[in-house]
A and B are shown apart, each in its own frame.
Chain A
Amino acid sequence: MRRRGLAILGACLLAASALVPSGTRAQGALAQSGLVGEFEGVTILTDPAKWPKRFKEAPQLAELVKAGKLPPVEQRLPEDLMVVRPVREIGRYGGIWRRGFTGPGDDENGNRLNASDRPILVDHTGTVPRPSLAKGWKTSEDGKTFTLYLRKGLKWSDGHPMTAEDFVFWFEDVYNNKDLNPTPIPDMTPQGKPGRIVKVDDFTVNFEFDVPFYLFEELMAGDTLIGGGQAVRQSNKRSHSAYAPAHYLKPFLPKYAGGVEAANAAAKAEGFDNWVARFHFKKDWTLNPELPVLGPWRTTRPINNPTWVMERNPYYWAVDTDGNQLPYLDGVVMTLAENLELLNLRAIAGEYDVQERHVDIGKLPVILENQAKGNYKVHLDLAFNGADAIFQFNQSYTADPEIARWLKNADFRRALSLAIDRDQLNETFWLGTAVPGSPAPAESLPYFPGPGWREKWSTYDPKQANALLDKIGLAKKDARGFRVRTDNGERLRLQVIAVQAFLPWPKIAEMVADQWAKVGIQADVRDTERNLAFTRTRNNEHHVMVWNNGGTELLYLFPRHAIPVDPTEAFMGPEYAKWYASNGAQGTKPDDPDLLRIFELFRSAAGQKAAERIETAKEIWRILIDQQYGIGTVGQSAALMGVRLVKNNLGNVPARNCIAQHCRTPGGAHPETWFYKN
């Protein structure tokens, strides 16, 4: 009987192992699916000798030129052209791009399509910065000056020339206006010393600092406060990015409207509470169709309607190698889906032309099933960040000293990390397509800390986990086998806050809680409403918070999910983030020497040159992974904007998108070069 039982058990395990892929087999499985393409992208021609001499434009624009309503295309394009060789072929004009969006809070959906309006945009691999709005740049030897070379003859969408004035205007009148921006931003303030924007000539701008700030060049190329571009940084009540349309926005500022009283009166006359509210509206490309913009499409029907409509920008400053002014597509129409299920349903029905946003990887089998019916092809694009679900342990927690003690104990965290069966999570939620391991960025990036750091503390080893927990003083268990607190002998309960956002984190946390129960740790998963979760974490009330660490693949550009440096989102230690951001004026100083070291390294990186910076980042990652402040599960997956449905009649859509914060998916794939083949 027992032998038969063992044989059955063995058969079960064999059968089970056929289902759970090991590391190499996962890659094999993904390759077998045929859904992951090769990186491919546009080429930018910077040699004027190779540029086209004759230009063509879209038929509707040609009509307007004939009617005298628009200057001819040669006069609309800048002297310093942006010449793009599309991925596969020269395209044709015409067609509307249909997409789905979820409401006025989904401005990112459109911001990203206009990602080229930033000075520097990375290429399709996410590693090489390329000229976009700016034609070139330079960092001085001493790192104290960063120069941006603008395109001569570049015009706003209303025909007005874009010059260095727009940068100076932003710096002096928007950034320095205390009502819009109360305190200096870290992007412009290395080592606490504020920088300046200075006009050198009409088409050259200097960013000047008092200390070496070699990092600034990288910040300019990323999705940061300073480098983000007008579309994303000035929509939805934000006021950054390095430039703004001076000629249009000046009248709305008190300085040019005759004082605060006059500005407020004018605002009230238009139905706004005060001039600030009106200014937020006027500079927002998603709300204000009259705002001059620089991206390929401009809004004609604002985002706060059931349909968000954009049409081509007649002054867009890029052409293809044949001289056709981009974009090919006439416009974009986004329809409001009141909930995500409906959006996915519409995507499956083929109602969207290219949709990667809000598509749920859990629905992949159904999406694949309907490819023929919906007339689309599915692409899986893999991300660069190491953790789609990271359990951040609150290092600045104080409410319950016993819990705080364990949250701050590195071996406790390591044990919990070793108790997670990542293969199980991968199989259940990522359908086996993700890479299990530590939160480190992808191996292909220069920031990857080195061999062995994917696996460190991040394998499935419940035996070692139990040993560690026993060792640190949690050996005592209660009747049901759960470890007890050392202060009162009651069961140790860890609260895990999980939000149902773009990944099913509550379910993921439930599975992890079940695995932690096997090593005797009780985790209470709190499926929390999003706003409440953010409020609680901001108030330092949480033990553990689950989120992802997207953006940390380029640590300096978007560090908040790896290190607690930004008080708006510092799951790892809100009080410490306040301390760091205010230079010690607020918050609490960490007592953990490793955390202090991380802060030190991070601060010093701003003044280091690229090669040295990368080494610093690697060292920061090593400390992070060794200390396991944030326990990673799986990453480098297609879960976030990685399941892409592309209609079969679209051309020039790359086989693989770069999924990273700074790639501005899908902006980095240059949608202005996509076209309809028939």
Chain B
Amino acid sequence: MSGPPLAAAEVAASGGEERVAVASQLQLTWWRFKKHRVALASGIVVIFFYLVAILADFLAVTDPHATDARRSYVPPQAIHWFDEDGSFRPHVYALKGKRDPRTFRLAYAPDPSEKRYLVLFARGYSYSFLGLFGTDRHLLGVHDGRPEESLFLLGTDQLGRDVWSRLMWGTRTSLFIGLVGVGLSLFLGVLLGGLSGLYGGVVDTLIQRLIEILRSVPTIPLWMGLAAALPASWSVTRVYFAITVIISLIGWTELARVVRGRFLSLREEDFVIAAELAGASRMRIIFRHMVPSFLSHIIAAISLALPAMIISETTLSFLGLGLRPPAISWGVLLQDAQNIQSLGIAPWLLLPAIPVIGVILAFNFLGDGLRDAADPYG
């Protein structure tokens, strides 16, 4: 059973029956969406993640590329909120590192006598805020001494780079790099799948064969080939971006096939025949009449495509084909954790897995809610 139509309370809240009757589909969708609490929360989470991505530099504490052997594999530092006298002065202790000559393990001993007090809007490395103006203020920092030396919220990696700061930069890369690709795939999928299903015949055959050829092109060799063929002077991120665009020119096939299937069924529906008889153009029929009737499926598809993009980035980086150092993304960060020494000595390197899981969960719940809300039969 799908959800009940707008209940009496909502109708009252939205200003009465008349409003519901003349409300546009968008408004109806929004009202229904608001009802789904989890989806709403997920939507907020997704927005929050993208905010983090935009403010990555501000949220970062240290330069994510700054290395130092003396802070290699530092575990996450504990924040102490109160001084001994009870006053609220959050601080961390400075660390002394020593390598045990028999076990070769690095041990860090916090020194309670050396306190580093946390400061908001502290000075750090300089960057350009949203490309508008230069600044060197960051959300957090330490008083006295440089953050590179004493603030490791999530620990450091083998080269002594702060995981928290790298996670901020990684969020930015991972969340933005797939957007264009997904958008392109979506557009091509709906358009070509729709044409294929609507027209049938030669058009259908041609598009279907094209899909088959493209689908059997294996992505990994294509990826390898493209990565090698693109100019060596391009940065890693630019290469990856170019490749996502190219891959999305191939990746629209899945959505197209599904859309085609739906179109083939819908073609015989009354309302489509009515629109044709009324003289509507093909484009109008597709986008104004047919698409909304399986909009929910498209939404489900997008809500899976975006996180799928993110997962495919992490997977490709794991295979060494996606983004590679010195680029920073969730995939690159997780690749650092894909070995025994990380699991055994530095498990905090696995922390980037949490935002990955979080974002994907959020996208899925959000898509779920949107699908429910847009369901025209609800």
Q: Are these two chains actual partners, yes or no?
A: yes
**Contact residues on A (Cβ < 8 Å of other chain), bracket:** 35 or more
> Which of B99, B102, B106 is packed against the most chain A CB atoms within 10 Å?
B99
Interface residues of A in 352-370 (CB under 8 A from B): 360, 362-366, 368-369
CA distance A511 to B235 in the complex (A): 18
Q: Which residues of A contact B144 (CB under 8 A)?
A: 1, 4-5, 8
In the complex, B193 has a CB within 8 A of chain A: no
**Are A424 and B69 CB-contacts (below 8 A) given A510-B325, A541-B232?**
yes
A431 touches B99 (CB 8 A): yes
> Of all chain B residues, which has the CB nearest A433?
B104
Q: A8-B94, A362-B341 are in contact. Are A532 and B102 (CB under 8 A)?
A: no
Q: Are A15 and B228 in contact (CB under 8 A)?
A: no
* Chain B positions within 8 Å of A32 at CB level: 101-102
In Å, the complex CA distance between A9 and B144 comes to 9
Interface assignment of A16: CB less than 8 Å from any CB of chain B: yes
Chain A 1-33 interface mask (CB, 8 Å, partner B; 1/0) = 100110011011001101110000000011011
A545 part of interface (Cβ distance < 8 Å): no
Residues of A475-523 at the interface with B, using a CB-CB cut-off of 8 Å, are 495, 500, 506-507, 510-511, 513-515, 517
- Taking a contact as CB atoms closer than 8 A, the residue among B95, B145, B158, B159 that contacts A8 in the complex is B145
Q: In the bound complex, do residue B69 and residue A423 qualify as a contact, i.e. CB atoms below 8 Å apart?
A: yes
With A428-B69, A527-B324, A527-B325 in contact, do A365 and B104 touch (Cβ < 8 Å)?
yes
Q: Return the contact of B104 from the options A345, A368, A510, A525 (Cβ within 8 A).
A: A368
Q: Tell whether A536 pairs with B94 under 8 Å between CB atoms, given A8-B145, A365-B104.
A: no
Q: Which residues of B contact A369 (CB under 8 A)?
A: 103, 344
B281 on the interface (CB 8 Å rule)?
Answer: no
B345 and A365 contact, CB distance less than 8 A? yes
A619 lies within 8 A of chain B by Cβ? no
Q: Which of A8, A20, A30, A364: most chain B CB closer than 10 A?
A: A8
Q: Give chain B nearest CB distance to A345 CB in angstroms.
A: 6
CB–CB B101/A33 < 8 A:
yes
> Could you tell me which residues of chain B, from 58 to 111, have a CB within 8 Å of some CB in chain A?
65-70, 72, 94-99, 101-106, 111
Complex contact B158–A366 (CB within 8 A)? no
| Residues of B close to A402: CB separation below 8 A | none
User: Does A29 contact B69, Cβ atoms closer than 8 Å?
Assistant: no
Residues of B within 8 Å of A8, CB to CB, are 94, 114, 144-145
Q: Contacts of B235 on A, CB cut-off 8 Å?
A: 524
Q: Size band of the B side of the interface?
A: 35 or more
Which residues from 511 to 560 on chain A have a C-beta closer than 8 Å to any C-beta of chain B? 511, 513-515, 517, 524-527, 529, 532, 536, 541
C-alpha gap A532/B228 in the complex (Å): 7
Q: A364 vs B144: C-alpha distance in the bound complex, in angstroms?
A: 36
List, in ascending order, chain B residues with CB within 8 A of A577's CB.
Answer: none
Interface residues of B in 223-270 (CB under 8 A from A): 224, 227-228, 232-233, 235-236
Asked if A624 CB lies within 8 Å of chain B CBs, one says no
A453 to B106, CA, bound (A): 32
Residue A224 lies at the interface, judged by CB distance under 8 Å to chain B: no
Separation in Å of the A572 CB from the closest CB of chain B?
19
In the complex, the chain B residue whose C-beta lies closest to that of A17 is B70
Q: When the two chains form the complex, which single residue of B69, B114, B224, B228 contacts A11, counting CB atoms closer than 8 Å?
A: B114
| Cβ distance B201 to chain A, nearest Cβ, rounded Å | 45
Contact A432 B99 (CB under 8 A): yes
Across the interface, which residues of A come within 8 angstroms of B2, CB to CB?
A: none
How far, in Å, is A311 (CB) from chain B's closest CB?
Answer: 32
Within 8 A of A (CB), among B190-231: 224, 227-228
Q: In the bound complex, what is the Cα–Cα distance between A9 and B236 (angstroms)?
A: 37
Complex-state Cα separation, A369 to B343, whole angstroms: 14
B69→A33 contact, CB < 8 A: no
**Inter-chain contacts of A500 with B (CB < 8 A):** 320
B115, closest chain A residue (CB)? A8
Cα A8 to Cα B96 in complex, Å, equals 12
Q: Report if B355 contacts A (CB, 8 A).
A: no
A514 near B65 with CB under 8 A, answer yes
Select one of B99, B150, B339 contacting A341, CB under 8 A: B339
Which residues of chain A have C-beta atoms less than 8 A from B101's C-beta?
29-30, 32-33
A12 to B94, CA, bound (A): 8
A34 adjacent to B145 (CB under 8 Å): no
B278 at the binding interface (Cβ < 8 Å): no
Instruction: Check if A19 sits within 8 Å of B98, measured CB to CB.
Output: yes
B160 is an interface residue with CB less than 8 A from chain A: yes
List which B150-185 residues lie within 8 A (CB) of chain A: 150, 158-160
Cβ–Cβ contact A363 & B67, under 8 A? no
Known: A514-B66, A527-B325, A541-B232. A19 touches B99 (CB 8 A): yes
Q: State whether the Cβ of B326 lies closer than 8 Å to any Cβ in chain A.
A: yes
A438 at the interface (CB under 8 A from B): no
State the CA gap A16–B111 with chains docked (Å). 13
> Contact between B94 and A507 (Cβ–Cβ < 8 Å)?
no
Contacts A18-B97, A19-B99: A428 and B159 contacting too (C-beta < 8 A)? yes
If A4-B144, A12-B145, A529-B320 touch, whether A364 touches B65 (CB-CB below 8 Å) is: no
From residue A259, how far is it (CB to closest CB) to chain B in Å?
41
Question: Which of A30, A426, A429, A526 neighbours the largest number of chain B CB atoms within 10 Å of its CB?
Answer: A526
Known: A365-B345, A532-B227. 15 other contacts (CB 8 A): A5-B144, A8-B94, A8-B114, A8-B145, A19-B106, A33-B101, A341-B339, A360-B339, A363-B341, A369-B344, A424-B67, A425-B69, A510-B159, A510-B325, A513-B326
A-B pairs, 10 with minimum CB distance:
A427-B69, A32-B101, A424-B69, A15-B96, A527-B324, A428-B69, A366-B344, A16-B70, A514-B67, A19-B97
- B residues whose Cβ falls under 8 Å from a Cβ of A: 65-70, 72, 94-99, 101-106, 111, 114, 144-145, 149-150, 158-160, 224, 227-228, 232-233, 235-236, 320, 324-326, 338-341, 344-345
21 A-B interface contacts by CB (under 8 A): A1-B144, A12-B94, A12-B145, A15-B95, A19-B69, A32-B102, A363-B339, A363-B341, A365-B341, A365-B345, A424-B68, A424-B70, A428-B158, A431-B104, A510-B65, A514-B65, A514-B66, A525-B325, A527-B324, A527-B326, A529-B224
